[in-house]
Chains A and B, each alone.
Chain A
Amino acid sequence: MSWNGLLGDLEAAVMSHVWDSGPCDVKAAYQAIGRRRRITLNTVQSTMERLHRKDFLDRTKVSHAYVYSARVTREGFGSQVVREVVNRFLGGQPAPMLAAFVDLAARVGDDELTRLEELITEQRQRRSGG
């Protein structure tokens, strides 16, 4: 599976649709995504073929059309993306557009965290004790 570069805009929309609605053919995906975006059936078809080549989608021929289903689960994909985010931060690579609650690129030692917890507890007791 090619995680390199992750997903383009339309690829992400197609994967979201397949994860939400289950297996579908190109026409169904076009009805759900293509019309709203004013893109052609061929564009949706080539996107699904590309996702199949990247091993994100499986396909089986039913009658004259291919039915596509997700080869990777949303959870599996999510884990991979999060790993990519964390590795990028830890590796010191810039990730402009992402702000984490705590700095992912640097860690605080256990002793320091314990000291901070004690300070918080002390402060809480002082406030509740008056």
Chain B
Amino acid sequence: MMAAVIGLFELATLAGVVCSALVAVGSALISPLLRARFRRVAPAQRVARVTAWIVAPLAAATSLVLLCLAPSFLTLAGLVQDHCFEPAHSHGHLCLLHPLAASAAGIPLIVLRFGLASLFVALASQGFSAWRSVRLVRALHASSRQDQSLGVRLLPVERPLSLAAGLFRPQVLISSGLAQALPSDQLAAVVAHERAHASRRHALLMMVASAAALLHFPWVRRWLLAELSLACEEDCDDMAAHHVGGRLVVAQAIVAVERLFGAGLVPADPLAPAFANDHVTTRVERLLRTGPGEIVPRVGLWSALLFASMAAVVALQPVHHLTETLLDTLISFS
């Protein structure tokens, strides 16, 4: 029985992995076509769209596995009759009620195990980075003081720095060096920008996106995460501009902070980066244009969910059997 359950788990995972790989291939193929178009969309919408793109392989794989196992769940709940006409057949069989000992084997099984092991290692590495960041955020909090006039935590250091730090309850931290160096209107823009990051929990979003993006090809992953990061920055620039009442002040603040931070780096520092920061240029040039960007009509979330639910009900049996047949073909070829 245990072997049968493990076999079922392996088959379901294999179906999910193949599905996510196909979505990742599709994503890699269409990404060059959509890159230019994406930048024209308003940042807040771009954040939502890029996030949806990033989680697409994971969402597709999870949906497929749930759809394939849904007939078993519905039978267990007594809502439909037993769906297995030939429970004893030997093909890739995604059924909780009649699991067969037959499972993925040969090359698919090796690829599956290698893929899962790689994913586990990558996730563990991200988890370790997150743990180190938690301690860093804690240390930043301990070494700062609440500044009542600015409404932020003030770090007693000269190096110009402003951060939104934390995952679930992010706080805004500004170094005293930056607070003294910037004029009050630009400082207000910086604080408003960081507060926007905190209120929208962008750090949490980036962390989840980084994990979900592991299912994309590396070059697509890098582009998607960079695009998400830029969209978050531009979204916060817009909120800061709204708060301080002008886009030019935010643009000036970006250039001023970049200049101050760059000046603080020792040129011979081996860690000093040599590559260009096109985000600063892109953000400033965008702020100097008049509008915030093209607002694309939204498809209602509830309408989309309703449509997806109806499609799932209609496609339940065909998807289940088609997946079983494809798995069977895959296993028999290896």
The chain A residues found within 8 Å of chain B, CB to CB, are 5-9, 12-13, 15-16, 19, 74-75, 77-79, 81-88, 90-91, 93-109, 112-113, 116-117, 119-120, 123-124, 127
What band does the interface of chain B fall in when counting residues whose beta carbon is under 8 Å from A? 35 or more
Contact A108/B281 with A82-B155, A96-B203 known, Cβ cut-off 8 Å? yes
Q: Which of A13, A99, A112 contacts B164 (CB 8 A)?
A: A99
Q: Specify the main secondary structure of chain B where it touches its partner.
A: helix
Residue-wise, chain B 252-264 has the 8 Å CB interface mask toward A (1 for contact) of 1111011101100
In the complex, are the beta carbons of B140 and A81 less than 8 A apart? yes
B residues 164-193 touching A (CB-CB < 8 Å): 164-167, 170, 175, 190, 193
Q: Specify the main secondary structure of chain A where it touches its partner.
A: helix
In the complex, are the beta carbons of B162 and A6 less than 8 A apart? no
Residue-wise, chain B 112-146 has the 8 Å CB interface mask toward A (1 for contact) of 00000000000000100110111111111111110
B residues 12-38 touching A (CB-CB < 8 Å): none
In the complex, are the beta carbons of B190 and A93 less than 8 A apart? no
Q: Which of A81, A83, A90 contacts B272 (CB 8 A)?
A: A90
In the complex, are the beta carbons of B136 and A96 less than 8 A apart? no
Query: Closest approach, in angstroms, between the C-beta of B142 and any C-beta of chain A?
Result: 4
Query: Closest approach, in angstroms, between the C-beta of B158 and any C-beta of chain A?
Result: 8
A88 to B165, CA, bound (A): 14
- CB of B206 closer than 8 Å to a CB of A: yes
Query: Closest approach, in angstroms, between the C-beta of B184 and any C-beta of chain A?
Result: 16
Residue-wise, chain B 268-282 has the 8 Å CB interface mask toward A (1 for contact) of 010111011101110
In the complex, are the beta carbons of B136 and A6 less than 8 A apart? yes
In the complex, are the beta carbons of A7 and B139 less than 8 A apart? yes
Of the candidates A91, A113, A119, the one having the most CB atoms from chain B within 10 angstroms of its own CB is: A113
- CB of B317 closer than 8 Å to a CB of A: no
A123 to B265, CA, bound (A): 30
